[in-house]
Amino acid sequence: MKIKWNAADMSNLEGRTAVITGASSGIGYEIALQLAAHHAHVVLASRNQGRTEQVARQIATMLPEASIEAQVLDLANLASIRRFAETFSQRHQGLDILVNNAGIAGGPRRQTIDGFEMHFQVNYLGHFALVGLLLPSLCSRAGSRVVTTSSTIASQGKIDFDDLQAERTYKWIRAYAQSKLANLLFAFELDRRCQAVGGGMSSLSVHPGVARTNLLTGKESDWGRPRRGTEILIRVLQIVLAHPAARGALPALYQATDPSARSAEYIGISEGIGGGYPVVSKVPPAALDHVTAQHLWNVSEELTGARYDLLTQATGSACSIEPLG
């Protein structure tokens, strides 16, 4: 990796199509902005239709030649995920880049319309379903990439198969850490399955470090209560110590576009004075547990109904294509 890699090092992405979840603000917005600036066709995928369309117009104003569209995607609703995937496949011949960026943190235990704990579905399970539904589009493009966002807190996570939905014991930090560890387990397992069928599609993982985003702001109406102890503390740390969202977007931009990116590497952000650039991070040992990853995959297929049939075929399947770069 180039030292101090930044968005200026990105190549021309003309002819590529990208989907960014959670693209209406924060890191997702910054990822979308840079991909559009480098001539990819960018699909902003977020749950708030009005906000997402507003951001699409904003990017179009900033970059008059940008190719951009807004689509509704509510990761807390499996029906919304299916509609998004169907609409995408009708409008586009293939997908080159998918960045699983959207995420939530904090608040009391809430349940999605599908009956799952909110952190588990929005951060992880919804993305698992989305990738599965978009797999034909991804496999139709040479060197397609799926970039999944985790967090440094994944190192504190544990997959509790006896209480995945935190029905018996709920603490939001625990639920958040579990969801982010699940994302890492998924990213590595997806890549193993791609390679097993000789596929050119790559699954890569990132974390944005401590970035200044709205992850814990403006959520009181959703939560039904004001912020409390840990939520307040983390928000203060974000304000005092965090780097801008544009810096937090760099690991995902690197993994999504750079020819030297490697699926075995977990890319984060350098901290401290002179930091704020992509670096290789240590993978939490729990994320390398193949048995847990396979069990989580099987459970996720059962919960979502998403099937990765293209990755169970023999070598020579639709995913047997040459890598990007």
Q: Give yes or no for a contact between 56 and 36, defined as CB atoms under 8 angstroms apart.
A: no
Counting DSSP H helices and E strands in the chain, the numbers are 11, 10
Torsional class of 192: left (φ above 0), alpha (ψ -120 to 50), beta (otherwise): alpha
**Quick one: which H or E segment has residue 295?**
helix 290-304
CA separation for the pair 303, 212 (Å, rounded): 33
**What phi and psi values does residue 171 have, to the nearest 5 degrees?**
-135, 130
CA separation for the pair 263, 222 (Å, rounded): 36
Catalytic residue flag (residue 176): yes
- The candidate with the shortest Cα–Cα distance to 259, out of 9, 4, 3, 8, is 9
Contacts 24+ apart (CB under 8 A), 278-286: 278/1, 278/5, 278/250, 278/251, 278/254, 279/1, 280/1, 281/152, 281/207, 283/184, 283/188, 284/154, 284/155, 284/157, 284/181, 284/184, 286/154, 286/155, 286/157, 286/158, 286/159, 286/181, 286/185
Q: Which residues pair with 198 in a beta bridge?
A: none
Among 29, 124, 176, 266, the active-site one is 176
CA separation for the pair 152, 95 (Å, rounded): 28
For residues 93, 203, 319, 129, the Cα torsion angle rounded to the nearest 10 degrees is -60
Strands 266-269 and 278-281: antiparallel
**Catalytic sites, residue numbers:** 176
